[in-house]
Structure 1
Amino acid sequence: MKFDLHTHHERCGHAIGTIRDYVEAGIRNGLQVIGISDHSPYFASKKDREQPGIAMAKSEFARYIEEVLKLKAEYAGRIDVLLGVESDFFPEHAEVYRKMYDQYPFDYIIGSVHLSGGVSIFNKKRWNGLTDKQKVEQKELYYSLIEQSARSGMFQILGHIDAMRGFYPAFSEIQTDAVDKTLQSIGECGIAIEINTSGKTKDCGGWYPIDAILERALHYGVKVTFGSDAHKPERVGDDWDEVAARLKEIGFREWVYYKEKQMVTVPL
């Protein structure tokens, strides 16, 4: 059973291809399940499209859902198309997002922290001139947001939980117990983290999260799932077999996906 729950398409402004292109890529790459999970609009903004190159417009959201549901029906029996979304998490706007999502039949929602302290987690310059203490504070702020997203009850999956290292590989070496504390909370909440293979396309050159985090996740009973985070169709299912093999080496015996917000367990 091969699945990929994290894919994007042209609506977000920084991916290429239509939703159909990603579904067809899933079939070509031997997937039985593909989740469509483009970036959520900035629902708390007064603008229709707050960040044109980052997320879809609010006016596109219902059309996005309608298109996924049509493809789900069209491809039934060939591949299981799941309705998802990758949602930003802003604690101050959580209820705005929750009310919006409650209106639609999502199979799952991925909660991802892309902004921490008001700055993109992928901004290399955010680390310039920081003392070691300040670097620890930045890492702890990031994981506090991830922990809050886990406890919000809004999400079935947490996205790329160490993506702050994407363009700053030294992030992994910043010592703090915040990662363990966050993983413990995720385990208590009974939701999953993804192994996201898009990290290989960034400066860090490897999947999110690193093996050390996956080992601790296993310790805390955290469930895992798979997401390529494909922004072009040819990356759908990228490194699926390699990830499965690595998880087994670490000690995992199963991983999961979600349908109608119910966890489906798949043996490794």
Structure 2
Amino acid sequence: MLPSDNHVHTQFSWDTGPKASMEGACRRAVEVGLPAIAFTEHVDFTEWGEADQPPAGASVGVRRRVHSLDVDGYLESIERCRDQFPELRILSGIEAGEPHHFAGSVAAVLKSGTFDRVLGSLHSIVHDGRLVYANDVFGTMPAADLVRAYFAELLRLVEGSDVFQVLAHCDYPRRYWPARDGAYREADFEEEYRTVFRALAASDRPLELNTASPLASATLMQWWYDEGGPAVSFGSDAHVPLRVGDQFEVAVDVVEAAGFRPGRDEYDFWRR
């Protein structure tokens, strides 16, 4: 049996389009044989809120389309889908962007409802005094320097936030690595990966294998295992139903080759 998909977006995430559908995602999960699905909608912010911890002097850059999560509508949709798909375990959740910077704002969202799964993610770094999407910085500095700056901020996120349960897409900028610089090589950033992995493992939290990013190698997962990583979470990062559970057969082989095995039950993370 395939593992649970712990990272899925629906019409309630600000960056999805007309094909996004919670009901459609559930139907797809049942079709491909997933035991569970977690709807981890984007929670991002366009300004600093009370009790946030912004980097010194930094403003929030332009974040077009970003809007607040409709918590009530989202949770109502969760309940409808649970009634409609009793054979599928359906988890509520959020993907908290930059939770170490937006601690107060994220806490306010979590207080507004019941969320089973909280992902922590880093999409933005501080550049020229503004918090901007990391992919927008390519071209303004050498690509390798940008990736190293991203990992340095990711380490601060891991060490500076305890609100999230799973670290999502640990090398997000590789999705946008410029072709002119040749292939992205995980080995070029081994020490950066391992430093983040050690910090995450020390907090006893799982690392996500994200199948929307270029699929992590067995070597990368082995680094996670070597640094004491306790578990792996599988996430498609699907923004349309068709991508739910995408590449999970290959992802299972990658994780298994690194030494991780299915957990306590079919809904659990894979563990060492």
Q: TM-score, normalised by structure 2?
A: 0.78
8 Å contact kept, 2:119–2:168: yes
Q: 1:75 and 2:82 equivalent?
A: no
What is the match of residue 153 of structure 2? 142
Aligned with 2:158: secondary structure? helix
Partner of 2:191: 177
Count, aligned residues: 247
Deviation for aligned residue 1:44: 4.9
| CA 1:210–1:147: 2 relative to 1, 3 Å | farther
Worse-matched range after superposition: 34-43 or 221-230: 34-43
CA distance in 2 between counterparts of 1:257 and 1:232 reads 27
- Root mean square deviation, CA, Å: 3.0
Listed as ranges, the gaps of 5+ residues in structure 2 are 50-61, 178-182
Structure 1 residues 25 and 256, CA, compared in 2 at 3 Å: closer, same or farther?
farther
Where does residue 180 of structure 2 map in the other structure? none
Alpha-carbon spacing, 1:74–1:113, altered in 2? closer, same or farther (3 Å): same
Pairwise CA distance, 1:62: 2.5
Where structure 1 has 5 or more consecutive residues not aligned to the other structure, the ranges are: 200-205
- Tell me the distance in 2 between the aligned counterparts of 1:93 and 1:128: 26
Partners in 1 of 2:143 and 2:235 — Cα distance? 34
Q: 1:61 aligns with which of 61, 71, 75?
A: 71
DSSP-derived class of the 2:33 partner? coil
- Could you say which residue in structure 2 is the equivalent of 1:203? none
1:102 aligns with: 111
Q: CA deviation at 1:146?
A: 3.8
Distance between the aligned counterparts of 1:240 and 1:88, measured in 2? Answer: 24
| Greater share of helix | 1
Q: Tell me, in whole angstroms, the C-alpha distance in 1 between the residues paired with 2:246 and 2:142.
A: 35
Contact 1:197 1:238 in 2 (8 A): yes
| 2:133 matches 1:126 | no
Partner of 1:23: 26
TM-score (norm 1): 0.79
CA contact (8 A) 2:232 2:269 kept: no
Distance 1:226 1:186 in 2: 16
Deviation, structure 1 residue 157 = 0.8
Alpha-carbon offset, residue 265 of structure 1: 4.6
Equivalent residue number for residue 261 of structure 2: 253
Please list every run of at least 4 consecutive aligned residues from structure 1 whose deviation after the TM superposition is greater than 6 angstroms: 256-259
Q: Between the two proteins, what is the percent identity of the paired residues?
A: 19
Q: Which residue of 1 aligns with 2:221?
A: 214
Cα distance change on mapping 1:210 and 1:143 into 2, 3 Å = farther
Tell me if structure 2 keeps the 8 A contact 1:146–1:161: no
Name the residue aligned to 1:235.
Answer: 243
Equivalent position SS for 2:138: helix
Secondary structure in structure 2 of the residue aligned to 1:252: coil
Deviation (angstroms), 1:229: 0.6
- Is contact 2:48-2:102 (8 Å) kept? no
